[in-house]
Amino acid sequence: MPAYSATSRIIRHPAELERDWLQLQERADCSFFQSWGWIGIWLEQIAMDLHPLVVRVWFEGTLVGLGIVTDKHISRHLVIRSDARFVHEYPFDDRNMVIEYNGLLADRGHEQAVYSETINHLLQIEPACDELYFGALGERAYRVLCDSAETRLTDIASIRLLEESPAYSVSLGQIGDGIDAYLATLNKNRRLQIRRSLRLYGERSPLSLECADSTEEALDFLDGLKELHTDRWQAEGRRGAFANRRWEVFHRSLVAARFGPGEIQLLRVSNADGPIGFLYNFIWRGRVYVLQTGFRMPEDKRLMPGYVVHTLAIVHNRQQGMDIYDLMHGDSLYKRLLCNRKETLRWVAVQRKHWMFKLEHRLLKMARRVLGRGKAAG
């Protein structure tokens, strides 16, 4: 049997992890949300006062896996009390930075062992942990987790699927160059609407797409995005992302730290009347992750700022040699209409085999049956 092992310790300062993380991510198939660009700022801004625990997985003395967990005692359904740990997030107290494409950082070829060793360590060697939560796992990470549970963890743990959501994106290699080539991939009605909107916006002056070329300009674009984003959400009676002060500080720190290495993209689309919209994106290994948007909402309903801005950004990023333009999770109509590919993100709890979780599952099944009968009778 291969000689795998796991160790853990409380993180005292992010710097103690940086070198190991950077070296391992070069040998891992990871998303931006698993890279040090995201993880390092998350530790500094969100997690350090939570006493996060880092788990390291070793193969014959070589580091092959890393994961960071935070802990919280949670209660649900009146009878369930659980000491839970959360991988690379803390979705409480305005600290939820909404991670996507999450998962343990694992050396290629060692992924299944990294998951099984980490889970075994946290559920067996760390007896305070009853549940381990993985938020927004991509399809590959979810398969690895399930395979690990089926082959290595059947005696100690079970997997509970909590939620799943589609994540829509554009495979840029499947479209040609230029706006016309991209629009030709859309359905006729939406294609005509976007063409009309482009024409109307361009009547006063040509549309321009600008990409921030310095950290200072990127932060200025983020300010502009904030203004338009907040205006739109408040007009609908909602708060918007920037109402969470911790979220804004986190992302301003992220832009300041990672723009220089080329991992941040801030775009502005304008005409003579001013900005039409902004996009705040991550760039990682040929993939563009669209994190946040801000659009100036017009009175003329023929104008479609979101479609126009995304169309220009898709064409721009294809020209830049990117592979995927990812609108990420959420089943929105505009995502379905603009995109040519779909993945599924899943939120999962790995639970210690315990009577209270068996009871919970039985009660939930009974409740669903009762609700199902009620709907059928209605």
pLDDT averages per 10-residue partition of the chain, 378 residues: 88 97 98 98 97 97 97 83 94 96 98 94 82 96 91 78 96 96 96 96 93 98 97 89 96 98 98 96 98 95 96 98 97 96 96 73 71 60
Cα distance between residue 250 and residue 246, in whole Å: 6
Q: Closest Cα partner for 31 from 222, 167, 182?
A: 167
| Domains of the chain: residue spans and CATH | 4-166+345-377 (3.40.630.30), 176-339 (3.40.630.30)
The structure's pTM equals 0.93
pLDDT tens track for 10-58: 999 999 999 999 999 999 999 999 999 999 999 999 999 999 999 999 9
295 contacts 266 by C-beta, under 8 angstroms: no
CA distances for 310 relative to 23, 218, 255, 269, 290, angstroms: 34, 18, 20, 10, 10
Q: What backbone torsions phi and psi does residue 2 show, to the nearest 5 degrees?
A: -60, 145
Q: What is d(CA 351, CA 158) in angstroms, rounded to the nearest whole number?
A: 5
Neighbour tally for 108: CB within 10 Å: 9
The reported pLDDT for the residue numbered 377 is 57
Contact 301, 309 (CB under 8 A): no
Structure tokens at 268: 């502005």
Encoded tokens for 261: 């290495």
